[in-house]
Structure 1
Amino acid sequence: MNPSIPPLRPPSMLMAVLLLCAGPACAAPAPWDPARAVALAEWSWAAPLAFDLPGARLQVRRFRAPMAPVDAARRLTRAAASRFDRLQFSGSVLSLSGVHEGRHWLAQLRPADDGGAGTVGLLSSLGPEERREAGFDPAQIAPPGARAVLRASSRMAGGTGLLASYLCPGPYPRVAAAVRRALQARHWRPVAAAAGSGEVAGSARAQAAPLAGEWARPDGGRLTVHLHPRADTVALTFWHRPKEAS
């Protein structure tokens, strides 16, 4: 993967693409790959990412383009033929979207130091027999009363990861305490505390470590935890990987 390409923010990209899913998908040939388009040959592309959603598969490719977002959007639209037919601006972010042969396409472009950068996403149908399931159940860690709002499996070299988000009722301190107890009961340790010699899940240092951030298990599993307090709920997101990538 090209290290110069900025990291993808999975929740925002997934939600943006899901908004395009307004109708049934149909069988279609192999999808178009923008990284192989001759007109985009000078663009820098990251390795593709794939997520399995309920009934659908999301494929994402990140890129950098040596031109401003508006010019990059024109080039991408021409290269993609009729795949993009809608244009929208949100601040400095330019979005293209469209439906082609039963597949939903979305591209987001933004300014970068050396031109433009962004993502191209493809949402297509996925049969039950094609779906990959992760060996991690986020419902065991989410506090009582939490409402699931997103669940997506990711296809990774080391196995199947999982992205899951919940809305948890109650104040932040109560939600955070419940999540921490559930993590520690299942042998997860905050990475900051795990770096110390002899630290255990219930130690004072582990208790004092921030809840949001990286957690690890003895079997090599890694878990990123994000919490965002709202008016009367807390948005809780898990990003689980079966083992840390080498």
Structure 2
Amino acid sequence: MSPFLTPMHPSSMLLAVFLMCASPACGASAAWNPAGAGILAEWTWTGPQVFDLPGAQVRMHRFQAPVTPADAARRLTRAGNDRFSRLQFSGSVLTLSGVHEGRHWLAQLRPVGRGGAGTVGLLSSLEPAARQEAGFDPAQFAPPGARPILRASSRLAEGAGLLASYLCPGSYPRVAAAVRAALQARHWQPAAAVAGGFAHGGQEDPSRVVFTAAGEWAQPGGARLSVHFHPRADAVVLTFWHRSKEPA
């Protein structure tokens, strides 16, 4: 690993994330595209995925590399030209981070088979007028007492998507039951039911079929909603991922 990289503890990483969201970032020059770096030419890249936050934009590139995470981190550091200045080890996962020209960079690498895979992320500023909104309110599905902890619009070819998370007090069964009731009350159905024709006069009555709240939900018009639950000791983290329609 490059000698100028200094270790970064997990608590410092969490603090850095909050500082990233609060700090201004300059956007004078074009952002570096890691997928176009010659030293990374044999890597397989997807994306980028772009999310609009209040006052900021996150751009993420996912990759697979035919080298170990440690070697991949060395190559990213060289290709990044001082964009990555800190290194954190968390088990088998390596995290690089740094600030360059006012932009915040973060890369995570993990072992996959004989090589590695991971994500390179960029946080930069975004004027309010440039933010793309999804036109969807996930709060209508969150149970009473839920506290919003994340809201980001995703720029998709089919229009803006929305990623939103809530911290919901109570047990998983209670939170899941409330979310399922709210979805069904607003005419959302599990994607499997819509695909199977339940919503279009199929043989089975969807009202007689019991579905879990977690998973994919859909409307006949094509809108899709992914619902995820992450139970904690006395609460549940509830996450929605809404798209106006399923990508082709």
TM-score interval (norm. to shorter) = 0.7 to 0.9
Q: CA RMSD in A?
A: 1.9
Distance across 1 between alignment mates of 2:41 and 2:19? 28
Matched, 1:155 2:159: no
Would you say the 8 A contact 2:27–2:124 is kept in 1?
A: no
Give the corresponding residue for 1:30. 30
Match of 1:244 in 2: 246
- Counterpart secondary structure, 1:84: coil
Residue type at the aligned position of 2:207: S
- Give a deviation string over 1:159-204, Cα, whole Å, max 9, x none: 0000000011122222222211211121110123334443589602
Q: 1:69-218 alignment to 2 at 5 Å?
A: 69-199=69-199, 203-205=207-209, 208-218=210-220
Contact 1:28–1:102 under 8 Å retained in 2: no
1:183-236 CA distance string (max 9 Å, x none): 11211101233344435896020xx11110000011100011011222221111
CA contact (8 A) 1:105 1:120 kept: yes
Partner Cα distance (1:19, 1:90) in 2: 19
Separation in structure 2 between the aligned mates of residue 27 and residue 113 of structure 1, nearest angstrom: 37
Question: For the Cα contact (< 8 Å) 1:193–1:209, is it kept in 2?
Answer: no
3-state SS of 1:48 partner:
strand
CA 1:20 to 1:106, structure 2 compared with 1: closer, same or farther past 3 Å?
farther
State the SS of the aligned residue for 2:72.
helix
* 1:49 aligned partner, one-letter code: Q
Consecutive unaligned residues in structure 1, runs of 5 or more? 1-14
Give the SS at the match of 1:210: coil
Contact 2:199 2:220 in 1 (8 A): no
Letter in 2 for 1:204: R
Q: For 1:20-52, what per-residue CA distance to the aligned partner results, in whole angstroms no more than 9, with x for missing partners?
A: 516322243011101111111111111211000
User: Which range moves more in the overlay, 21-30 or 234-243?
Assistant: 21-30
Q: Does structure 1 conserve the Cα–Cα contact (< 8 Å) formed by 2:227 and 2:239?
A: yes
Identity %: 68
Is residue 194–residue 219 contact of structure 2 (8 Å, CA) maintained in 1? no
Provide, for residues 139-175 of structure 1, a one-character-per-residue CA deviation record: whole Å limited to 9, x for no partner. Answer: 1111111100000100001000000000111222222
Question: Secondary structure of the residue that 2:139 maps to in structure 1?
Answer: helix
Alpha-carbon distance between aligned partners in 2 of 1:112 and 1:154, rounded to the nearest angstrom: 27
Q: Whole-Å Cα distance in 2 between the matches of residues 202 and 175 of structure 1?
A: 22
Q: Secondary structure at the match of 1:82?
A: coil
4+ runs of 1 displaced by more than 4 Å? 199-202
**What is the alpha-carbon distance in structure 1 between the residues aligned to residue 63 and residue 15 of structure 2?**
17
* TM score, norm. by length of structure 2: 0.87
